[in-house]
């Protein structure tokens, strides 16, 4: 359904890189990390091709009852063969999805590369009626 998931966040000197990794792994498991030092901050990037990579987001969207919100952000972030969403880093650390990326620490960016974005969106965050998936 997808080729790769990439997760990226800036890590500032006031942050613990291990906590940022945990926040990213709370959303997308099995990431392989690389860190790029830019002086004032580090760019932390995780990538995976694991078939289970999006299972946690799938569960969080349903558990938090945010399928419609998730669907609108996925549609808004859809560009060709990529779907890009940004989520709050602190919420991710707590194991939650929050699309309010406004934070002095910056967001976590999730990039999903897929040849069939509509199928992926339909699976990950289907349309609902009265909170129940209809697709």
% of the chain beyond a pLDDT of 70 = 99
Contact between 39 and 71 under an 8 Å Cβ cutoff? The reply is: no
Task: Work out the average pLDDT over 46-72.
Answer: 96
**In terms of pLDDT, which residue wins out, 93 or 103?**
93
Task: Work out the average pLDDT over 64-81.
Answer: 95
SS3 assignment, position 7: strand
Quick one: pLDDT band at residue 35, thresholds 50, 70, 90?
A: very high
Q: Is the pLDDT of residue 101 over 80?
A: no
Q: Is the pLDDT of residue 131 over 80?
A: no
């Amino acid at each position: 359904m997808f080729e790769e998931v990439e997760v990226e966040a800036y890590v500032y000197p006031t942050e613990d890189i291990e906590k940022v990794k945990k926040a990213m792994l709370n959303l997308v498991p099995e990431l392989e990390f690389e860190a790029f030092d830019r002086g004032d901050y580090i760019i932390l990037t995780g990538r995976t091709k694991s078939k289970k990579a999006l299972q946690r987001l799938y569960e969080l969207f349903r558990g938090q009852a945010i399928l419609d919100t998730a669907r609108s952000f996925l549609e808004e972030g859809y560009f060709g063969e990529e779907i890009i969403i940004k989520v709050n880093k602190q919420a991710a650390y707590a194991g939650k999805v929050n699309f309010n990326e406004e934070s002095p620490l910056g967001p976590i960016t999730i990039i999903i590369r897929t040849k069939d974005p509509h199928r992926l969106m339909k699976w990950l965050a289907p349309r609902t009626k009265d909170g129940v998936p209809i697709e």
